[in-house]
C-alpha cells in the first residue's frame, strides 16, 4: 500500500466501520458521531446506519450483496491494520476557540496508521505511514502548530489536584480562576523561579491537550502527558502517582515532539522480550 494513501470519512462512517470490524476504539468514534446527532432523537440502529452504508457504497468504499457487506480492498487493509495493531497512541487537542481534534496512531511493527478527526471539518482521515513512527510523530507536531518560543530549562512541581483543576479551567477560560488555582498551591510557588512564567503561559494559552500511548489488549500504558501551547511558553506536565505530585516543564516544539517520541518508544519496549 502506498504510504501516501488516505481514505476520507465522516465521523459517522468511521463509527460504522469500526463497529462493523469490531475495533475497540469504535465506541469512542460512535460517541463523536452521537454528539453530532439531535439530542433526544431515538433512531433504531438499522435506520441510523442504512444511509451511512449507502453513502459508502456510492463512494465506492463498500459493496452490498444481499445482507453481505464487502469493503474496498485498501479500506479493509487500513481497518485491519487498526484492529490488529499492537499499540495505539492518542493525542487530543483543543484550541482556545473551542476547536478540537483527536489523532490516533495504530502501530504495527514499522507501520503506523494515522487516524485524525477535526471538529472544524468533521472529517476522519485514515492514512498509512509505512515510513514509521518518526514520520507519524513529526506529523503530529506539524498539525499541533505549537507557538515558536525560546528554550527554557528547569521544572516546577505542583499538587496533582492543582493540575487536574488547571486542565479543567483551561477548557473554561477565566484568568482570575487560573491565577487563583496556581496561587493556592504553595508547592508550585516555592518549587521554581519559573512560577511567574507558568502563570503567564496559562493566561495566554492558545491550546491544550493530552497524549498517551497504550499497549492494546493489556493494562500497560504510559503516563498521560498534559500540555499547553502559548506564545508565552509551551508546557508539558506529567503526574507522579507515587508522590501525588505533577511535574511541569517548559518546552519548545522540537522538545515536545522528542518527548512524545520517547514516551511512545518506551511504552513499545514492553513488547520486546528481555
Question: 173-192, pLDDT tens digit by residue?
Answer: 777 888 899 999 999 998 88
Q: What average pLDDT score do residues 123-141 get?
A: 89
Judge whether residue 23 has pLDDT over 70. Answer: yes
Distance CA 177, CA 269 (A): 41
pLDDT at 2: 42
**Contact indicator for 69, 55 with CB cutoff of 8 Å:** no
Torsion (CA) 255, 261, 262, 266 in degrees, nearest 10: 170
- The pLDDT tens digits of the residues spanning 143-164 come to 888 999 989 889 999 999 999 9
- Position 44 scores a pLDDT of 60
Residue 229 contacts residue 148 (beta carbons within 8 Å) = no
pTM to 2 decimals? Answer: 0.89
User: In which band, very low, low, confident or very high, does the pLDDT at 141 lie, cut at 50, 70 and 90?
Assistant: confident
DSSP the chain: --TT-EEEEEHHHHHHHHHHTT-TTHHHHHHHHHHTSPTT----HHHHHHHHHHHHHHTTSEEEETTEEEE-HHHHHHHHHHHT-SEEEEEEEEETTS-EEEEEEEEETTEEEEEEEETTT-EEEEEEETT-HHHHHHHHHHHH-----------EEEEHHHHHHHHHHHTS--HHHHHHHHHT-HHHHHH-TTHHHHHHHHHT--EEEEEEEEETTSS-BPPPEEEEE-TT-EEEEEEETTTTEEEEEEE-HHHHHHHHHHHHHHHHGGGS--
Through-space distance between the first and last CA atoms of the chain, rounded to whole angstroms: 32
- Band of pLDDT at residue 41, cut at 50, 70 and 90: low
Higher pLDDT, 14 or 131: 14
* Residue pair 239/160 in contact by the 8 Å Cβ criterion: yes
pLDDT at 57: 92
Amino acid at each position: 500500500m502506498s504510504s501516501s494513501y488516505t481514505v476520507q470519512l465522516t465521523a459517522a462512517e468511521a463509527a460504522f466501520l469500526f463497529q462493523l470490524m469490531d475495533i475497540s476504539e469504535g465506541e469512542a468514534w460512535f460517541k463523536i458521531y452521537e454528539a453530532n446527532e439531535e439530542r433526544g432523537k431515538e433512531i433504531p440502529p438499522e435506520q441510523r446506519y442504512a444511509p451511512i452504508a449507502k453513502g459508502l457504497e456510492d463512494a465506492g468504499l463498500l459493496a452490498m450483496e444481499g445482507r453481505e457487506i464487502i469493503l474496498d480492498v485498501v479500506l479493509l487493509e487500513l481497518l485491519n491494520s487498526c484492529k490488529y495493531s499492537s499499540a495505539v497512541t492518542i493525542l487530543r487537542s483543543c484550541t482556545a476557540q473551542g476547536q478540537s481534534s483527536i489523532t490516533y496512531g495504530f502501530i504495527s511493527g514499522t507501520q503506523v496508521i494515522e487516524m485524525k478527526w477535526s471538529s472544524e471539518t468533521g472529517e476522519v482521515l485514515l492514512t498509512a505511514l509505512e515510513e514509521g513512527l518518526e514520520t507519524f510523530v513529526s506529523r503530529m507536531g506539524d498539525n499541533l502548530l505549537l507557538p515558536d518560543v525560546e528554550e527554557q530549562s528547569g521544572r516546577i512541581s505542583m499538587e496533582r489536584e492543582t493540575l487536574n483543576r488547571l486542565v479543567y479551567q483551561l477548557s473554561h477560560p477565566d484568568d482570575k480562576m487560573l491565577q487563583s488555582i496556581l496561587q493556592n498551591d504553595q508547592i508550585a510557588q516555592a518549587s521554581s523561579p519559573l512560577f511567574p512564567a507558568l502563570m503567564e503561559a496559562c493566561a495566554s494559552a492558545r491550546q491544550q491537550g493530552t497524549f498517551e500511548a497504550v499497549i492494546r489488549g493489556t493494562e500497560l500504558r504510559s503516563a498521560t502527558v498534559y500540555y499547553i501551547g502559548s506564545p508565552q511558553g509551551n508546557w508539558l506536565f506529567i503526574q507522579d502517582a507515587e508522590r501525588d505530585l505533577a511535574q511541569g516543564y517548559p518546552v519548545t516544539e522540537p522538545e515536545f515532539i522528542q518527548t512524545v517520541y520517547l514516551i511512545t518508544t518506551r511504552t513499545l519496549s514492553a513488547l520486546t522480550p528481555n
